């Protein structure tokens, strides 16, 4: 612990001006505006878009989705809102097709990948040589509204599995959607059942902070109300002298902002009016820092060395660089040896092929020589036969010519 005994406390005798520092921060924050990102998870038809519209008292454009999608995907929309002189850049991410598949084993994977991608995007900006975090659009999820189907019989397996995968990545606020379909008694038992299942499965949900004395009592009471039972509506009716959001049924009217009817006002106050900045800080200081630490450890960086002493970042970097160079050299050597072995194997294959070709060549030469000898013998025989034939032909022709010449001579003698 740092020794502060040598620090003197002084009280200015007059006005200095540093008491305006909070005002300067407020002015700067108002100029830059604020960013808040909400992830809304729930099965198709539970009223995710209606809930967001009710929270921000507006009508965001949204399209209806079918129940026949092959997989889970996310739909992200960014809106710029302004209330008085405060600007808010709101990003709403909704699940599409969540819980509609027969095989729900990997339904959470798309959501986890999206959250990790936003963390990774911020980390890459933070690690740049020339970074501009003040101008960087922060897309990290600050609050996750997990809508629970109002069955009255506890959480489904997909709910437990998904929240277990997300509890160390995002601030989870469980919400019972369309809570007007079950009675108040069933609703209280349902809340107790949900919280007992969350505790039994080791799922950490977001706890409203109680370290600020101004809101400690309020947040402590609200922590006991979780999960919030809400009813959303985009329809307005006239109630007395004002227009209110409500749902009309044949048996009566459910007022969205009536705390006797549902917990919508409590959710809105805790989410937007009281703890919005705490969720942003929790996202940055806890969830993002955990992701950052794990990623840097995967890359080989650590704060402490082998002797448990702090190690500067550049030493970590140089050490990791040397390790990577050694790994590359080892791989290069392995590839070189593998190449040499393959070349030798190829040379031996070529030599064997050459021997086989030579043997085949010699065998074919012998066959050709034998064929040549046979052909020569046959040629000699044919020549001999041809000579004999010519001799016989000459003898025959000579024999035929002799009688003809004698007969002619006799004929001529008679005529004379």
Tell me the pLDDT of the chain averaged across its residues.
84
Residue 412 confidence class, pLDDT cut points 50, 70, 90: very low
pLDDT at 316 exceeding the cut of 80: no
Count of CB atoms situated within 10 Å of the CB of 143: 23
Does 11 score more than 80 pLDDT?
A: no
The string of DSSP codes covering 121-156 is HHHHHHTSSS--TTTS------EEEEEE---SS---
Instruction: Please indicate whether residue 350 or residue 416 has the higher confidence score (pLDDT).
Output: 350
Predicted local confidence at residue 283, as pLDDT: 93
Indicate if the alpha-carbon torsion angle 389, 395, 399, 402 is positive or negative: positive
Element (H, E) at 229: strand 228-229
In this structure, the number of other CB atoms found within 10 A of the CB of residue 276 comes to 16
Helical segments of 66-224, H only: 109-126, 157-166, 184-200, 216-223
Q: Which residue has the tokens 């001529």?
A: 412
For residue 173, name the pLDDT band (cuts at 50, 70, 90). Answer: very high
Is the model's pLDDT at 307 over the cut of 60? yes
What percentage of the chain exceeds 70 in pLDDT?
A: 90
For residue 405, pLDDT over 60 is answered with no
CA 270 to chain CA centroid, nearest Å: 31
Q: Which tens digits make up the pLDDT trace of 52-64?
A: 888 887 776 666 6
Of 273, 269, 275, 271, the residue nearest 212 (C-alpha): 275
In the chain the first and final C-alpha atoms are separated, in Å, by: 169
Q: Is 275 exposed, middle or buried (0-12, 13-18, 19+ CB in 10 A)?
A: buried
Whole-number Å distance between alpha carbons of 208 and 361: 91
> Is 118 a residue whose pLDDT tops 90?
yes
- pLDDT reported for residue 67: 66
Which of 90, 284, 73 lies closest to 171, judged by CA? 284
> Is it the case that residue 396 has pLDDT exceeding 90?
no
Does the pLDDT value for residue 4 go beyond 80?
no
Element of type H or E holding 254: strand 252-255
Q: 86 and 212 in contact (C-beta within 8 Å)?
A: no
131: number of Cβ within 10 Å? 12
The torsion defined by the Cα of 21, 23, 26 and 30, in degrees rounded to 10, comes to -130
**Mean pLDDT value across residues 307-326:** 75
pTM: 0.72
**Which has the higher per-residue pLDDT, 314 or 290?**
290
* 382: pLDDT strictly greater than 80: yes
164 Cβ contact list (under 8 Å, min separation 6): 201, 202, 203
């Amino acid at each position: 612990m740092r020794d502060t005994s040598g620090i003197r406390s002084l009280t200015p005798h007059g006005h200095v001006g540093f008491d305006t520092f909070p005002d300067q921060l407020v002015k700067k924050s108002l100029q830059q505006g604020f960013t808040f990102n909400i992830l809304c998870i729930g099965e198709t038809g539970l009223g995710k878009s209606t809930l967001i519209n009710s929270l921000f008292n507006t009508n965001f454009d949204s399209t209806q989705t079918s129940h026949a999608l092959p997989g889970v995907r996310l739909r992200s929309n960014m809106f710029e809102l302004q209330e008085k002189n405060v600007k808010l850049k709101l990003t709403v991410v909704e699940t599409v097709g969540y819980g509609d598949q027969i095989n729900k084993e990997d339904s959470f994977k798309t959501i986890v990948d999206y959250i990790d991608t936003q963390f990774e995007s911020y980390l890459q900006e933070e690690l740049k040589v020339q970074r501009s975090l003040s101008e960087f659009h922060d897309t990290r999820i600050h609050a996750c509204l997990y809508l629970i189907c109002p069955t009255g019989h506890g959480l489904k397996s997909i709910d437990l599995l998904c929240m277990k995968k997300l509890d160390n990545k995002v601030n989870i606020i469980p919400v019972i959607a369309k809570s007007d379909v079950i009675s108040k008694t069933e609703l209280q038992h349902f809340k107790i059942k949900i919280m007992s299942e969350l505790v039994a499965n080791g799922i950490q949900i977001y706890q409203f902070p109680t370290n600020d004395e101004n809101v400690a009592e309020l947040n402590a009471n609200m922590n006991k109300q979780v999960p919030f039972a809400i009813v959303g509506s985009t329809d307005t009716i006239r109630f007395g002298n004002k227009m209110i959001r409500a749902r009309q049924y044949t048996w009566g009217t459910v007022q969205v902002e009536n705390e006797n009817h549902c917990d919508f006002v409590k959710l809105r106050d805790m989410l937007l009016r009281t703890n919005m900045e705490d969720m942003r800080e929790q996202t940055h200081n806890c969830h993002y820092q955990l992701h950052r630490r794990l990623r840097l450890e995967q890359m080989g960086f650590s704060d402490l060395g082998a002797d448990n002493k702090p190690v500067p970042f550049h030493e970590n970097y140089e050490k990791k660089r040397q390790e990577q160079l050694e790994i590359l050299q080892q791989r290069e050597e392995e590839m070189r040896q593998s190449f040499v072995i393959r070349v030798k194997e190829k040379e031996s294959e070529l030599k064997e092929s050459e021997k086989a070709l030579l043997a085949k060549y010699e065998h074919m030469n012998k066959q050709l020589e034998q064929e040549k000898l046979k052909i020569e013998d046959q040629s000699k025989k044919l020549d001999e036969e041809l000579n004999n034939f010519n001799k016989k032909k000459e003898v025959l022709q000579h024999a035929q010519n002799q009688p003809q010449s004698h007969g002619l001579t006799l004929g001529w003698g008679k005529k004379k």
